[in-house]
Amino acid sequence: MLYLIYASKEAAIERADEEGKEIGYSYWIHGIGTRWLTYPQETADYMWALDVTDYDLDDSEKASTVDHYTPLPEED
Amino acid sequence: MHVSLDSALGRQRRLNSVGESVLQIAPSAAAAYSLRSLTGGDPKVVRVRRSALSGADNEIDFTVSEVSSGALTSFVTEPVSTLLNSAYYFSPDSHSHVDFDSDITLADGETMSLKYFFDGVTGTDLLFDSGGASTNSMLITTSISPRVRINSESIDFGVGCKLLINQLDTLTMARSGNDITITTGTGAVTKSFTSGAFTFNRLGGNSSQTFQGVFYNLQIGSRHNYTGLGGAATAWNDTVGSNNGTPDNLVSFTGQTVHGFVDTWFDQSGNSKDAVQPTADNQPKIVNAGALVVDSGIAGLDFDGSTSSRFLVAHSVSDLEGSLSMFSTSVRDATGYTVSLSNSSSGVKYFGIQEGGSSSVANPRNTTDVLVSDSVSGVDRLTFALTTGATSTSVGTNGSAVTTSTSDYGDDFDEGDLNQIAIGLLKTVSASGHFNGRIREILVYTSDQTDNRTALETNIAAEYGITLS
């Protein structure tokens, strides 16, 4: 798995939106239905990890991917 | 006004009337999800996204009758309908490939083409070769783009001509002197080689780099033509020349890479609490490998909690307080939660049903986890869970008498503690408890449904072939 790490959820969703548009999901054509391929998850250090394994990445993004992240621990 | 004898005597309803629907037996559901009609009509039940793409409408709604008639499955397989049971699927599991009688070398000024349909690569996979990746070959890299090797020279063509995934497309390779141009639905890219004499004698790769997908209509100029269609061993015979292809371990294409996913499970209660999943990777399956997902012939939504995180959520559900009842009908493969009333911003407030290996569990938590188990055998589950307050939680499966716990899960659930219905997991904040199996029906009531339990479960059990104790 490949992930891009973002400082904010909004930035991660923006990238997920971009990929969803590129794929042509229903949400971006008809306004309802599938919007994203993947959705960001919060990390242990309060960043946001987006699974981009199947994304069409540019060279800069490819160089920034990581192959794992530590998820936010569960609440007690 | 009709008053039943049971009701008049203050007893629990024992049976449902013939032809009575679930929501006629117990009409006040907060939400009700199924692939059958719970209302007696023919309601919309699911919105489905198909993996195989064709045009702009790859996601539409289906009614109960459209699910059972096969219309849903036809929608999912429609983009590849002409290939079903005609073309061959090249399976990496069995190293499917076609060997040609003799080498084929692309001549100067010649174009070869191949139609394909596939859903991705497993690594850097061989498409054409003449003895492996280190000889003359065309590989498809992990970025889904071609890499061509001619003699000792290996050149990546890049994403400008990457192959299209989940769409019917044609790959062409044209030679002009020592220039090779590859064209796909993405675009065309030309690269110069020391020699443009690309040669191959196999389609499908070797045992460690098998390409997976459907291939057909291979043409090399006007010299060789292979339909790859018709489902017979002669499908790869040369219909123009005499360089026949010998198939090995090819599998008839029945839709192995074609799936349908549920974007929305529509609420039949009338409250419009549809359970949705806008993220493709998290959507439960309803069509797998070209066929409706069924257990014993009965359809369900597949939540594969072992390898993925599939779930649906009905957001902004109010009044999940006081007495809460849930009925969950499922077929389990592994332990997980079929349904949970939970909180959209907290991972510590919920009331879920977990299907374990030998028990079904009601799991409420407002400040403290409480687990109430009812022993059960088998994988077909019809579980009733009820809480009437912080010190009263009950669970009963497949018609058994409920097990009740007086353990305190904190305060009674009040407005805002629970605000969503999650299907296929326990909680969405620090998501966990994903279910692995098929979920057939979920009913949620913001009231104690003990009095309707027998009648409801009799109806559900008859529909799904569940034996009640």
Query: In which residue are the tokens 């907060």 written?
Result: B30
What is the Cα–Cα distance from B292 to B6, expressed in whole angstroms? 40
Q: Which chain A residues touch B350 with a CB distance below 8 Å? A: none
Structure tokens, B93:
């599991």
Q: Is A56 on the interface with B (CB under 8 A)?
A: yes
CA atoms within 13 A on the CB side of B167: 17
Cβ contact A33–B159 (<8 Å):
no
What is the Cα–Cα distance from B224 to B219, expressed in whole angstroms? 6
Instruction: For B210-240, write each residue's pLDDT tens digit.
Output: 889 999 999 999 999 999 999 787 999 999 9
Query: Could you tell me whether strands B125-129 and B199-203 are parallel, antiparallel, or unpaired per DSSP bridges?
Result: antiparallel
Structure tokens, B115:
């139609």
At residue B421, the pLDDT reads 98
What is the Cα–Cα distance from B331 to B382, expressed in whole angstroms? 9
Q: Is B263 on the interface with A (CB under 8 A)?
A: yes
What is the Cα–Cα distance from B105 to B226, expressed in whole angstroms? 16
At residue B17, the pLDDT reads 63
What's the gap in Å between the CA of B454 and the closest CA on chain A? 37
Distances, alpha carbon B356 to alpha carbons B377, B399, B403, in Å: 10, 17, 15
Q: Is B142 on the interface with A (CB under 8 A)?
A: no
Q: How many CB atoms lie within 10 A of CB B367?
A: 12
Distances, alpha carbon B63 to alpha carbons B60, B70, B303, in Å: 10, 11, 21
Beta strands in B12-54, from DSSP E residues, in sequence order = 31-34, 44-50
Q: Is B120 on the interface with A (CB under 8 A)?
A: yes
Q: Which chain A residues touch B286 with a CB distance below 8 Å? A: none
Counting one residue from chain A and one from chain B, the pairs whose CB atoms sit within 8 A come to 58
Straight-line distance from the first to the last Cα atom of chain B, in angstroms, rounded to the nearest whole number: 33
φ, ψ for residue B7, nearest 5 deg: -65, -40
What is the Cα–Cα distance from B273 to B215, expressed in whole angstroms? 44
Instruction: For B71-89, write each residue's pLDDT tens digit.
Output: 999 999 999 999 999 999 9
What is the Cα–Cα distance from B203 to B116, expressed in whole angstroms? 12
At residue B210, the pLDDT reads 86
Q: Is A72 on the interface with B (CB under 8 A)?
A: yes
The DSSP letter of residue A32 is: S
The residue among B143, B274, B279, B282 with the most chain A CBs within 10 A of its CB, best to mutate, is B279
Q: What angle do CA B343, B346, B351 make, to 5 degrees?
A: 45
Distances, alpha carbon A42 to alpha carbons A4, A54, A55, A75, in Å: 12, 19, 19, 13
Cβ contact A34–B283 (<8 Å):
yes
**H or E element at residue B389:** strand B380-389
What's the gap in Å between the CA of A46 and the closest CA on chain B? 12
What is the Cα–Cα distance from B274 to A33, expressed in whole angstroms? 12
Distances, alpha carbon B363 to alpha carbons B20, B119, B354, B454, in Å: 31, 39, 7, 22
- pTM score of the predicted model: 0.94
Residue B337 CB burial class (10 angstroms; 0-12, 13-18, ≥19) = buried
Q: Is A34 on the interface with B (CB under 8 A)?
A: yes
Q: Which chain A residues touch B429 with a CB distance below 8 Å? A: 75
What's the gap in Å between the CA of B54 and the closest CA on chain A? 11
- Out of B56, B120, B432, the one facing A74 most closely (by C-beta) is B432
At residue B208, the pLDDT reads 84
Q: Which residue of B has its CA nearest to A42?
A: B430
Structure tokens, B243:
């360089």
What's the gap in Å between the CA of B445 and the closest CA on chain A? 27
If DSSP codes are grouped into helix, strand and coil, which group holds residue B7?
helix
What's the gap in Å between the CA of A15 and the closest CA on chain B? 13
At residue B1, the pLDDT reads 39
Low-confidence ranges of chain B (pLDDT < 70): 1-18
Cβ contact A74–B278 (<8 Å):
no
Q: Is B356 on the interface with A (CB under 8 A)?
A: no
What's the gap in Å between the CA of A19 and the closest CA on chain B? 12
At residue B2, the pLDDT reads 44
Structure tokens, B390:
């912080």
**H or E element at residue B183:** strand B179-183
Q: Is B166 on the interface with A (CB under 8 A)?
A: no
What is the pLDDT averaged over residues A48-59?
93
Q: Which of B458, B351, B459, B336 is nearest to B395 (CA)?
A: B351
Q: Is B346 on the interface with A (CB under 8 A)?
A: yes
